[in-house]
Amino acid sequence: MNEQKRLLLLASGSPRRRELLALLGLPFEVRVSDADESTPEEWTPERIVTELARRKAEAVAAAADASGAVVIGSDTIVVLDGTVLGKPEDGRQAAEMLRSLSGRTHDVYTGVACIGIPDGRIFSDFSRSRVTMREIRETEIEAYIASGEPMDKAGSYAVQGLGAVFIERIEGDYHAIMGLPLNLLHGMLEQFGIRALA
């Protein structure tokens, strides 16, 4: 088999991850994962994102009928003072998250896992970035929530969307904050003989 022609299966319904993977110019299909995303409270952020990325990839790999494919799973969390901020359940929770992030620096962890079919080879790792936000006015929080953008985002903001107006500084991988660290992913794909710049 020509390794370079292996199909990629993205185990995510995230439009942002789809856009990012498309940047590599490699053929891929989206297969949404139904993996369990619950984790014990004592797990570290690193373990949470690497384990969830792996679970998502394994769930799609188990159901896939595409021999020769490589499945990509990814998971992103926002961590402030050791507390994981997931996706908000409603506007009130989104507002609380944004108030807590206002004027502060927080960490964004993104895990990636790649599984080969049918060989079962798996690679997983994570990226950690730091994001500093300016002070956010209450009227801005209300308007941002009204835009609808925060509602399906970890930490209640989108770095690549309107939420960018709150961000003063980023240390680390911008694409990882969006949801898919392309540099890390490409290094894994090379282990399967797949290169974006072949």
What's the CA gap between 22 and 124, in Å, rounded?
A: 20
Collapsed DSSP state (helix, strand, coil) of residue 98: helix
Residue 111 near residue 74, CB atoms below 8 Å:
yes
Among residues 34, 36, 65, 75, which one is catalytic?
75
Kindly list the distances between the CA atom of residue 133 and the CA atoms of 92, 106, 157, 179, 189, in Å, as whole numbers in the listed order: 20, 8, 11, 18, 33
75 labelled catalytic: yes
Q: Which of 157, 188, 184 is nearest to 173 (CA)?
A: 184
What's the CA gap between 111 and 170, in Å, rounded?
A: 18
- Please tell me the number of Cα atoms within 13 Å of 112 on its side-chain side: 25
**The three-state (H, E, C) secondary structure of 146-196, written as one string:** HHCHHHHCHHHCCCCCHHHHHEEEEECCHHHHHCCCHHHHHHHHHHCCCCC
Which tokens go with 148?
């609808």
Residue 104 near residue 97, CB atoms below 8 Å:
no
Catalytic residues: 75
